[in-house]
Structure 1
Amino acid sequence: MFSFIFLGFLVGFLVGLTGIGGGALMTPSLIFLGIEPLMAVGTDLLYATVTRIFGVFFHHKKGSIRFDLALRLFAGSLPAILLSSILLRVIDKSTLNNYLTLLLGVILVVSSFLSLVKGEFHVPIRPRREYLYLLGFIVGLTVQFTSVGAGVIVSFALMNLAKLSPREVVGVTIFYGLPLSFLSALNYAFLGSTNYHLALLLIAGTLPGVYLGTHVNRKVDRDKLKRVINVIILVIGLLTLFQRVI
């Protein structure tokens, strides 16, 4: 019981600090603690929804949310949500989850490693709209099937494709992830793959974690936060690959 509460606090802190955490940290942790993969994904999506409600509230008060970017990302995710809702009901879930998570682990490791080695990319000041729609579609698929992507992939992409402050990156990531995780959580609830008691334990620990992480965020500069995000992405990718290979 207390291990789940502490896990909620730790992940909540990282969500508030970096926007990363919903699926990339929580789902592998739940599986490691003995929760079956499908139940871990559904429970994490419910947990992530509640976590991001408080994260959005804190970041909106600080004026760090770029609503235009977040809404374009969500517009791209809508067709992905509809498509994946159908696929979840017709394709073997365990097989699909294994292959998608394995692929995601490879992408996370490669992208984070290149960013850590080569540093800043030469990018336009404002990302093109079609890139945001495409990014939203891809993330919509990965979140629906694995609960991973709304924090990790979007944070990484915005750090390298847009000239945003660290707080704006986190604000956009959390605001965009809120409706995405909510709709995905509903889908898993209808499938009967949500542990509500476990979700409540995680939420109880996450509230102070998000509050603390959000307030620490404003004291971290862009370069330091980017390095932290890339290291977290690399570790998550390696852990994901290790779990799937084993």
Structure 2
Amino acid sequence: MGLEEARRRLREAKRVAVLTGAGISKPSGIPTFRDAEGLWKAFNPLDYATPEAYARDPKKVWAWYAWRIAKVREAEPNPAHYALARLEADLLARGGDFLLVTQNVDGLHARAGSKRLVELHGNILRARCEACGRRFPLPEAFPIPPSCPACGARARPDVVWFGELLPEGAWEKALRAFSEADLALVVGTSAEVEPAASLGRIAYTAGAYLVEVNPEPTPLTPLAHLSLRLGAVEGLEALYPLSSAPG
């Protein structure tokens, strides 16, 4: 009954907001952060993902990011990424509104075809100049650290580190979408990293039907109208079967 009700509400929804985390990219071979095999089990985030760590040793930080970038370049979007791109196309085709907010920095949602997308924590395939602020895509091979093509100054990864502000306008777009949604879908996130973790609660408080897809319970689970204890691919296939897609 719960799954059928969620499917019906998704078919009939006019405003859908989606939040994704590392779990949606795990089937593509991208390591997560907080599970038993996550990156933070092997690496201390204070050594690699803070402004202070970068100031201490930018080459060490960039070497770590270069390793992660190589993994991202090898990866391909998986069926969960494509399902959300189909959901967006379906909803927009019937005059609805949609926003996908991701905590991931791997760019796989865009590669799968998602267009109404907010990358809340930036994109690992870009760099940002420390002097002029220019953002630019990283080539296949780049020096460590890379230099800005505009002014020649050193560039840093274009991602949000612990203790930093989100990209300008990103949170406002996410907050508006989840505040106005009639259905909110949270996929593959531990719901522990703020402020993104609060988006599901905001949608629920505003009256949205809340669906969670995650193999393990999260702080969001007690609020969810439906919690699917599945991986992202299996959960989205159950919730939004291919037969539900347009065409």
Normalised by the length of structure 1, the TM-score is 0.29
Higher relative contact order (CA 8 A, sep 6+): 1
Judging by fraction of residues, say which structure has more helix: 1
Structure with more of its chain in strand, by fraction:
2
